[in-house]
Amino acid sequence: MRSRYSAYVFALESYLLTTWHNSTRPPRLDLKNEEKVQWLGLEIKRYQLLGPDRALVEFVARHKTAGRAQRMHEVSRFVCENGRWYYVDGEFPSKSL
């Protein structure tokens, strides 16, 4: 999760796509042409192994977009294949922090 956050900070699209599970991976990303985001920090709230090859990571990522501070709170699912962890998808908890 931390490496993917860092990849967003530095707009490393190839790393994000490589670490995204092929069942949910988008065909491409265009981070450099999206609205400018200034990433401010990452807090891992919870990490839970669901089995030898599945895990959840709950996090809050803080950022500024168009001068407005925002928080992204997500519970992400990861799977491990051939010794490598891949991001599958995430849900946004309904409860506000």
Domain 2-91 of CATH type 3.10.450.50:
yes
Residue-wise pLDDT tens digits, 38-74: 999 999 999 999 999 999 999 999 999 989 999 999 9
Q: Which of 40, 76, 37, 80 is nearest to 59 (CA)?
A: 76
Q: Which residues contact 68 (CB under 8 A, 6 or more apart)?
A: none
Instruction: Locate the DSSP E strands across the chain.
Output: 37-51, 54-65, 68-81, 84-91
Residue 97 clears pLDDT 60, i.e. is over it = no
DSSP-derived letter for residue 20 is B
Q: Tokens representing 81?
A: 């294949």
Mean pLDDT of the chain, nearest integer: 94
Q: Spell out the domain ranges in the chain.
A: 2-91
Residues of the chain with pLDDT > 90: what percent? 87
At 95, is the pLDDT very low, low, confident or very high (cuts 50, 70, 90)?
low
